[in-house]
Structure 1
Amino acid sequence: MTATQPERIFHIATASDWRRTLETGTYTTSTMGRTLAEEGFIHASRRDQVQGVFDRYYRGAGEHLVLLTIDPARLTDAEVRVEAVGDDTYPHVYGPINRTAVVDVVPLDRRGATETVISLWVKGMAARMGIALAVMAVVALVVLVAQRLA
């Protein structure tokens, strides 16, 4: 690691790829649909680059995404190189990412923003309230129809 490398690096992953990592202990997806073996490294970014990466490559993913926060100092079988890509630089992980190097995993919403526990709870509560209201409306309708037929 060089002095110019960030303390933490970030990688957008599909939730299914992350679940596989929980089983195997290593993460080996370079980017959506490409493996470490195919690409030669795993694409990563600084925090300020995450939204741009999401917008360019993941916006239409069609599956649940998570943001991995990686501590390069915890990588056991890989090295991070910050390399020029166009007019900017990006961290690339040369080797598999061991699960213990991933210090945080948060869901991303459809716009690429991180989901908090509270926002997930509110969304879940809103969905449950919507279902409850729909059920109450159906029950009220059935009661009204039954009263008119009686």
Structure 2
Amino acid sequence: MTASVPERIFHIATEADWRRTLATGTYTTSTVGRSLEEEGFIHASRRDQVQGVFDRYYRGLGERLVLLTIDPARLTDADVLVEAVGDDTYPHVHGPINRSAVVEVVPLDRRGGTETLMSLWIKGMAVRMGIALAVMLAVLVVALALT
């Protein structure tokens, strides 16, 4: 079964791996714990495959994850081949992904859904409010102990 390369392909990355790409300009992680050199290609997917990939390989990983949207036409040192995997096909990037080929990066939540700016803001506010409440409680305990 041969399929054409989609206009956009997707790859789930750890935030740490993506940060390294920002420093080096090149992404070379194939999948969790495996490099391009070890695997021979970088695993990718169509958009409709992202949730299944997340559920099988990334759920419960315990690291912050991002979803990379890659424009195959912008790859400078790699080719994308759509290859059979079981009863389906997946795009595989044969070579490193240059930073300029990544057209969007969005955080993923614990369920594999994309995070919005609003949800990130709300989570940040909740953390700050929790810290503020803990500090106020500590001050109250100290004040009561001194009286």
TM-score in same-fold range (> 0.5): yes
C-alpha separation in 2, matches of 1:60 and 1:110? 8
C-alpha separation in 1, matches of 2:3 and 2:129? 51
Matched, 1:98 2:89: no
Letter of the structure 1 residue corresponding to residue 26 of structure 2:
T
Residue aligning to 2:120: 120
SS of residue paired to 1:54: helix
Shift >6 Å, 4+ stretches: none
Normalized against structure 2, the TM-score is what? Answer: 0.91
Matched, 1:56 2:56: yes
C-alpha separation in 1, matches of 2:3 and 2:53? 24
Q: Say which one has the larger Rg.
A: 1
**TM superposition shift of 1:72:** 0.4
Cα RMSD between the aligned structures?
1.6
Residue aligning to 2:76: 76
Letter of the structure 2 residue corresponding to residue 99 of structure 1:
R
Residue aligning to 2:21: 21
C-alpha separation in 2, matches of 1:19 and 1:145? 46
C-alpha separation in 1, matches of 2:55 and 2:3? 29
C-alpha separation in 2, matches of 1:132 and 1:10? 39
- Contact 2:59–2:110 (CA under 8 A) maintained in structure 1: yes
Letter of the structure 2 residue corresponding to residue 86 of structure 1:
G
Structure 1, gaps ≥5 residues long: none
Matched length: 146
Query: Sequence identity of aligned pairs in percent?
Result: 81
**TM superposition shift of 1:139:** 2.9
- Residues 30-52 of structure 1 show CA distances to partners (whole Å, capped at 9, x for unaligned) of 11111111111110001111111
Normalized against structure 1, the TM-score is what? Answer: 0.90
